[in-house]
Structures are given as structure tokens and as C-alpha cells.
Amino acid sequence: MNPLAIPHEAIGLVAALAVGLLIGLERGWHEREQPEGGRVAGLRTFALTGLLGGVLGNLFPQFGAWPLLGGLLGISMLRAVSYRHIAKSSGNLSATSAVVMLLTLALGAYAARGSVALSLGAAVIAAVLLDMKPTLHGWLRLIEHRELTATLQLLVLSVVILPNLPSVGMGPYHALNPYQLWWAVILIASLSMVGHVAMRVTGAQRGMLWTGLLGGLASSTAATLALARSGPARTS
């Protein structure tokens, strides 16, 4: 037996602490100008929340999910009280910090259960999304309603309809495959959307060029149809 072997529980606790530190670093940096005691939750709070999640995760074999559920409920109650106070004093109705704190606790427990890489990866993604708040809000202000509608329609085509289509040959000589035909529809619609975005970002001429280049890599036929669809919009 190796006396220097690190117990799995300790590795999980370190990973849970790292999750809290990573998310707390982003939260604390954005609230660094707040006076001491005026921050909703900073680096230490999130680090301790992640560590608490790790401790609760290690209790799974003895007590199941009840300790974690109790921790989530307790943090929710604390955040509800502080949220009410902050909303009254500053008018800030954002619930992001409350959601992030619950996520930190859950990821800490997940890390303690052995999913270290996934927990750290999720913490990185959460920190990036939190840090991108100005960028994401800027994108929302640039998106028009028809562009949002087109994006949702494309998602319906690709996520809702496509997986439910049979991938079998139909018709004469079994030449028609609904799944493959729908893939072609999605490809053309995707290239049209890429062309529209490229034209908004780089201008009409360069946007058409990028559409042709990207479409040519995927399908010359789809690229031709996408460019034909975007042509009237460019000239109108």
C-alpha cells in the first residue's frame, strides 16, 4: 500500500474548492469596488460554498442525496432573504448570483462524487458566461426580431424534426431518404443564416464571399441555393 496515496475524498474536496474559487474569482472581481460587507457574495463565499458542496457530496454513500438537498434548500432561503434586502435597497432584481451559488454547491458535490473534470469544465463555462455579460447583452441589442425567429425556426428543423425522421429509402428505387433530404434543408437554411450574419458584420460583398467559401466546403449545391436566396435580400 502506498502511504503517499491521496484519498479520493481529498481529491474531490480540492476539486470542489477549486470550483468555488474559480467562480468566486469572477464574481469577486466584478464586485471588487463594493465596500467591505457590501458585496452580496465574493471569492471566499463561493469558495466555501464549493467546499460545502464537496463535503455534502462525500456524505452520499451514508445518507444519499438528503444532505445536498438540505444544503440547496438552506442556501436558497439565505439567498431569498438577501435578495429581498438588495432589491429594496438598490432596485437590483437580478437573480444571477443566487443561481450561481446553487450551481457552485451542486458542482462541488459533483466533483466530490468523482466527476472532477466535468465539474471543473462546467465551472469554467459558468465563469466565462458570467464574464461575458456585457458582450451577451450587446449581442441581444443587435439582434432583430426576425433574426431571432429565423434562429428558432432553424432549431426546430434541426433539433425537433430531424431526429424523428426515418433514415430509410422510400419511393421508387428507395431513392428518397427523409432524413438525408431534411439534412439538405437544414444545410441550406444554415448557410443562408451564416450569409446573413456575415453580411451584417462585414458588409454585403464580403458577406457573400464568406457564404460562398463556407458553403463550398460543405456542399456546392447548398451554397448556390443559399446565395440565390440571399441575393434578393442584398439588392432590396
Does residue 212 share a domain with residue 158? yes
Does residue 171 share a domain with residue 121? no
Q: Which residue has the cell 481529498?
A: 10
- Main-chain phi, psi angles of 40, to 5 degrees: -65, -50
DSSP reduced 3-state for 176: strand
SS3 breakdown of the chain: % helix, strand, coil, rounded to 5? 80, 0, 20
- The whole-model pTM stands at 0.67
Quick one: how many helices (H) and strands (E) in the chain? 11, 0
Q: Rounded to whole angstroms, how far apart are CA atoms 142 and 164?
A: 34
Does residue 174 share a domain with residue 101? no
In 3D space, the residue among 75, 70, 21 whose CA is nearest the CA of residue 50 turns out to be 21
Does residue 118 share a domain with residue 31? yes
Q: Rounded to whole angstroms, how far apart are CA atoms 17 and 15?
A: 5
State CA 117 to chain mean position distance: 17
Domain boundary among 137, 162, 185: 137
Per-residue tens of pLDDT for the chain, all 236 residues: 445 567 778 888 999 999 999 999 988 887 766 656 556 677 888 999 999 999 999 888 888 888 888 988 988 888 777 766 665 665 555 678 888 999 999 999 999 988 889 999 999 999 999 999 888 888 888 888 888 888 898 899 889 998 898 888 787 777 788 888 888 888 878 877 777 777 776 665 565 565 555 555 444 544 554 445 555 444 44
Residue 178 CA: distances (Å) to CA of 16, 168, 183, 226 = 47, 7, 9, 20
Does residue 122 share a domain with residue 217? no
**Non-local CB neighbours of 202 within 8 Å, separated by 6+ positions:** 210
Q: Is the dihedral of CA 49, 54, 59, 64 positive or negative?
A: positive
Q: Is residue 52 part of a domain?
A: yes
Domain boundary among 137, 157, 186: 137
Q: How many CB atoms lie within 10 A of CB 8?
A: 13
The number of domains in the chain is 2
Does residue 30 share a domain with residue 77? yes
Full residue range of the structural domain in which residue 221 is found: 143-235
Does residue 163 share a domain with residue 206? yes
Q: Is residue 1 part of a domain?
A: no
